[in-house]
Structure 1
């Protein structure tokens, strides 16, 4: 594997590597593609959050037998998930499952212009409000206008890196203090380009990395078009 920058982390989990092989296969049906994206996202998310999140003591509570115990709360207290449309939607449920409380989900729509392969933004619903601490619901006033401490970009494939870099720049301009990118597979050149967009503020976590891109900007061997495979729009 090509040398990758220190803010890029590629999993070596054996179950994840096996699932990635299953996902690559052209014979894998759409139902299984959806399940594999979910399962791979769950493993990548576990590894990323184990390193990228922390906890603090919360109030005490009692078990059903009446024993007192110390609760814990996840830090940072303000987190937003940002799936990149369309295929990032396939990762949302897995990451929501990992987090102990509901967090906002904001969507970015980006596509690559076919000739230049440059990203074009067509949808952005980043709001001027977020949930309160620990997912407690909407807040008001100055706190409501603050961007999250951590924005988590969800995008199954990093190809040229242009879309990921554009999303990072958008979230940085919005005011996110830190960005975590969770992905299933990336091309080494694209991953390096995305990681260089904001090295001190971004961590990228992937299940695997391919070395090459085709002239059309697809990973080789890759996964095909994940959005098409998830939503049965192959041949559009």
Structure 2
């Protein structure tokens, strides 16, 4: 188990690294409709619909991301002939942060159906009932990541600390050749933070970006707790 302490007032911006950010809220597309339903306090009460919307967002972002992968030409035999077709050279490794990331992860798996999968747990642990918290990483199941394309999916990119800590833990299983982050909603401070922690050739694929975090380091306006909305409220730990 790895525990990393983090103060709610500490967002370290130590250096500037170029990360490509694909913000899909800047253009008109159906993904905005799905994000709108995720945020809507009435619609989000339907857990199945909430999960399905996260899954749809995962599919859309996965499709857009797939355009950056490497392909080679393979001749496909059909009942009536042959057809040269561009196929992915190597399937990526899909990583999700339990439990909130599961529906988004499912959307990615619908398209990358031969991908290897990594599961990791990371959560905020508040001690003494105050605003300071620890990021706790206590479970990891993964194949080797050495020189592979790694896609980490997490619906809410708030402070970015959980994602950065997860990436640090994953490095114990090999250094990826390329890192992609997939998120439904993120905050500008969180995005700036992960820019300092991930490789400079990393890319972020995100459906919507919000301006700020509140005093508890939750995204404003955000949508609430994605894990609770998808699977029900959990007991405090």
Counterpart selection for 1:62 from 77, 93, 108? 77
Residue among 67, 90, 106 paired with 2:103:
90
Deviation of 1:42 after TM superposition, in Å, equals 1.2
Is 2:45 the partner of 1:46? no
The list of structure 1 runs, each at least 4 consecutive aligned residues, that deviate by more than 3 angstroms after superposition, is none
The Cα shift of 1:61 comes to: 2.5
Aligned residues: 211
Q: Give the structure-1-normalised TM-score.
A: 0.82
Quick check: 2:154–2:183 contact (8 Å CA) kept in 1?
yes
Q: Over residues 132-177 of structure 1, what are the superposed CA-to-partner deviations in whole Å (9 max), with x where a residue is unaligned? A: xxxxxxxxxxxxxx63511110100000110111122233443212
Q: Gaps spanning 5+ residues in structure 2: where?
A: 1-16
2:48 is the counterpart of 1:31:
yes
| Correspondence list, 1:1-236, <5 A | 6-11=19-24, 12-28=27-43, 29-50=46-67, 52-58=68-74, 60-64=75-79, 66-75=80-89, 77-99=90-112, 101-114=113-126, 115-128=131-144, 147-174=146-173, 175-233=175-233
Alpha carbons of structure 1 residues 118 and 187: separation in structure 2 relative to 1, 3 Å: farther
Runs (5+) with no aligned partner, structure 1: 129-145
Give, in angstroms, the shift of residue 201 of structure 1: 3.5
Find the aligned partners of 1:155 and 1:84 in 2 and give their Cα distance. Answer: 6
Residues 55-99 of structure 1: per-residue CA shift (max 9 Å, x gap): 1112x22222x2111133213x15211100111111122111222
Question: Residues 104 and 153 of structure 2 are in contact (CA less than 8 Å); yes or no, is this contact kept in structure 1?
Answer: yes
Give the distance between the partners of 2:154 and 2:196, measured in 1 at CA.
17
Report which structure shows greater RCO (CA 8 Å, sep ≥6).
2
SS at match of 2:133: coil
Deviation at 1:219, TM superposition (A): 0.7
Q: Secondary structure at the match of 2:65?
A: helix
Could you list the per-position Cα deviations for residues 207-234 of structure 1 after superposition, in whole angstroms to 9, with x for gaps in the alignment? Answer: 0001111111111110100000010126
What SS does the corresponding residue of 1:206 show, helix, strand or coil?
A: strand
Give the Cα–Cα distance (whole angstroms) in 1 for the partners of residues 18 and 176 of structure 2. 21
